[in-house]
Structure 1
Amino acid sequence: MKLKKIIVTGAGGGLGTAICERSAKEGFGIIAIDINADSLKSLDHLPDIETKILDISNYNEVQSFFTQLKEDESIVALVNNAGIYNALSLLEYDEEMMDTLLNVNIKGPTICSKFFIQHLQANNRKGKIINISSISGQEGSSDALYGLSKAAIIGLTKSLALRFSPTVLVNAIAPTMIETKMMEKIPEWRKEEYQAHHLIKEPITAKDVANTVHFLLSDESSHFTGATFDLNNGGYLR
C-alpha cells in the first residue's frame, strides 16, 4: 500500500512538531516545511519525513515547491500551521511588522491552499486542508493583528470548503492558549486570568491539537467540511 503523505507548515515549532510526531505515529509520510532550518532538525528522528526550508508567504517559492511535487499522487493533506504572534498592541506595530504578520498568517495559508488544490485537481485526487486558527479569531485578541489574521483563517476555511467540494474537505481548529514557545510572550498573570474562565481546568497541550488534526486526517471525519473545531476547554461558547 502506497504511503500517504501530508504537508505541514511551521513544522519546526512546538505545535508543528506535535502534529508531525502524531501523524508519523499513525503511519503518514510527512513533508515538513519551515522557514527556520535549525528548527527542522528536531524532526530528523521521525520516519518517512522530508524537510523543506520555505517562505510560505512567497508566491513563487510555494509555486516552485508544488511544481517539484507535481508527479506525487500520494499527498493527501495540507496542514496550514505556520503563524506569527507578537503579543503587541496595534499602536506598537509599524507597517513592516504589519506586513510580515499578515503575509505569514493569511497570505501564506492562502497561497499554499491554492497550489495544494491545484495539485489535487491535476492528479484527479481528493484531499483535506486543516487550518490552524485560534480562539483569538473568534473572540478577539489584545494583539489586533493576530486576532484579525486568525479570523481570516476561519473565513478562508469556509470559503474554500464552499467552492472546492468535493475535491477537498477544509476544516479549522481554533485552540485556546497552549504552552508553546510562541506563548512565552504572554505574562503569567494574563495566562492565569485567561485560564480562570475555562470550564475544564486541565491545560490544553500541543498534543491535544495534534490529536484533533489526526481526527480530521482520518476517515472518521469524512462528513465535516467548512467547520471550526473549538478546542478551548469551554472558555468560549458559541
Structure 2
Amino acid sequence: MTGFDLTGRTAIVTGASRGIGLETARGLALAGANVVVTSRSQESADAAAADIGPAALGVGAHAVDDNAARRCIDITLEKFGRIDILVNNAGTNPSYGPLIEQDHARFAKTFDVNVWGPVLWSSLVVKAWMGEHGGSIVNTASIGGMKFEANIGVYNASKAALIHLTKQLALELSPMVRVNAVAPGVVRTKLAEALWKDHEPRVAAATPLGRIGEPVDVASAVHFLASDAAQWITGEVMVIDGGRLLGNAQSFRQGSARDV
C-alpha cells in the first residue's frame, strides 16, 4: 500500500514538544512530510524540531494565542507553501477533584486549550489553505470523553466536547477536509502520570492487551488517519486503549476461570 507515504506534504502538530505530539511529528516526518511543531516556548519547539530532524521546524505558539497561531500558519506557508495535515494535539488538565469543587479559572483553562484551541487552529488552516486545496485534521481526544471517572470530570467533559466537535467539523468541512480524532487510553506521558506512574502493574493487568500505551501507539493511528490510506474516513473517533474501554480484563479473566 502506498497510501501511507506523505512525501511532499506539510503537517502542523500542536503541543509537540514531548509525548504523543512529539512522537506523532516524528512519525509524520519519517513518512516523508515536512512538519511544523509547536510548543508554548520557542526553545522547546526548537528542541523538538532538532530531535525530529531536518524535515521539522519549531514555532513557539501557545494553543490559544490567536496571534501566535496565525503567525505559525504564515511561517508554515512561507517555508513550505502548503498545509495538508493539522494535528490538534495540545492539551491540558489543571483541574482535579469533584466538579463542584472546581473554580472557574481551571475550568475555563481546560476548555480553552482542549476545545477552543482545536477550533481555532482548524479555522485558520482551513481558511488559509485546506478549504481550497483539501486536507486532513486529526484531534487528540481521550477515552475519558466516553466514560465517567472520579476527579477528572472537567478534563473528560472537555474531551467529550472535542469528540462532538470532531464530528461537527467533519460535516461542516466536507468534502474538502477530513476531520477525525484519536481517543487514547492510559499512555506513558507526563500529562497522564497520575493515572499510571505509581501503579503501572495494576493498570497494565486491568488492560486486555497487558500494558499501558506508548506515544508511538497513538502516533501510528494519527499517521493512518492523516494519510490517503484513510481517504474515505471522516468524523470517526479511533479508540487506542489496549482494550481498556471493554472493561477490567483481570476481573473478567478471574470471573471466567471461576465459571469453568
The TM-score, its normalising length taken from structure 1, stands at: 0.90
Q: Which residue of 1 aligns with 2:72?
A: 65
Displacement after TM superposition at 1:22 (Å): 1.0
* 1:95 and 2:76 aligned: no
Displacement after TM superposition at 1:127 (Å): 0.1
Gap change, CA 1:17 and 1:121, over 3 Å in 2: closer
Greater shift in the superposed pair: 67-76 or 161-170: 67-76
Q: Retained in 2: the 8 A contact 1:82–1:104?
A: yes
Gap change, CA 1:79 and 1:177, over 3 Å in 2: same
Question: Computing the radius of gyration over CA atoms, which structure comes out larger, 1 or 2?
Answer: 2
Q: Which residue of 1 aligns with 2:258?
A: none
* Structure 2 stretches lacking a partner, 5+ long: 1-5, 248-260
Q: 1:18 aligns with which of 18, 23, 31?
A: 23
Partner SS state of residue 44, structure 1: helix
Residues in 1 aligned to 2:43 and 2:71: alpha-carbon distance in whole angstroms: 22
Residues in 1 aligned to 2:100 and 2:43: alpha-carbon distance in whole angstroms: 32
Greater shift in the superposed pair: 216-225 or 40-49: 40-49
Displacement after TM superposition at 1:228 (Å): 0.4
CA-to-partner distance for each residue in 1:89-129, whole Å, 9 max, x for gaps?
1344322222211111111111001111112356x201000
CA-to-partner distance for each residue in 1:164-218, whole Å, 9 max, x for gaps?
1111000000010101111223365665554443221133210011111111122
Aligned pairs for 1:135-146 within 5 A: 135-142=143-150, 143-146=152-155
Residues in 2 aligned to 1:139 and 1:168: alpha-carbon distance in whole angstroms: 28
Partner SS state of residue 204, structure 1: coil
Q: 2:50 aligns with which of 44, 62, 70?
A: 44
Residues in 2 aligned to 1:74 and 1:2: alpha-carbon distance in whole angstroms: 13
Please tell me the root mean square deviation across aligned C-alpha atoms, in Å: 2.4
Displacement after TM superposition at 1:15 (Å): 1.1
Displacement after TM superposition at 1:235 (Å): 1.3
Displacement after TM superposition at 1:27 (Å): 1.1
Instruction: Write 1 or 2 for the structure with the bigger share of helix.
Output: 2
What letter corresponds to residue 206 of structure 1 in structure 2? P
Q: Which residue of 2 aligns with 1:29?
A: 34
Q: 1:218 aligns with which of 205, 221, 227?
A: 227
What letter corresponds to residue 60 of structure 1 in structure 2? N
Q: Retained in 1: the 8 A contact 2:141–2:183?
A: yes
Gap change, CA 1:133 and 1:68, over 3 Å in 2: same
Residues in 2 aligned to 1:38 and 1:185: alpha-carbon distance in whole angstroms: 26
* Structure 1 stretches lacking a partner, 5+ long: none
Gap change, CA 1:28 and 1:2, over 3 Å in 2: closer
Residues in 1 aligned to 2:208 and 2:13: alpha-carbon distance in whole angstroms: 31
What letter corresponds to residue 81 of structure 1 in structure 2? N
Displacement after TM superposition at 1:131 (Å): 0.4
What letter corresponds to residue 204 of structure 1 in structure 2? G
Q: Which residue of 2 aligns with 1:79?
A: 87
Aligned pairs for 1:99-114 within 5 A: 99-114=108-123
Residues in 2 aligned to 1:83 and 1:131: alpha-carbon distance in whole angstroms: 10
Gap change, CA 1:137 and 1:54, over 3 Å in 2: same
What letter corresponds to residue 171 of structure 2 in structure 1? L
Displacement after TM superposition at 1:3 (Å): 2.6
Q: Retained in 2: the 8 A contact 1:140–1:148?
A: no
The TM-score, its normalising length taken from structure 2, stands at: 0.82
Q: Retained in 2: the 8 A contact 1:16–1:81?
A: yes
What letter corresponds to residue 163 of structure 1 in structure 2? E
Q: Which residue of 1 aligns with 2:165?
A: 156
What letter corresponds to residue 235 of structure 2 in structure 1? G
Q: 1:199 aligns with which of 208, 212, 216?
A: 208
Gap change, CA 1:175 and 1:111, over 3 Å in 2: same
Q: Which residue of 1 aligns with 2:252?
A: none
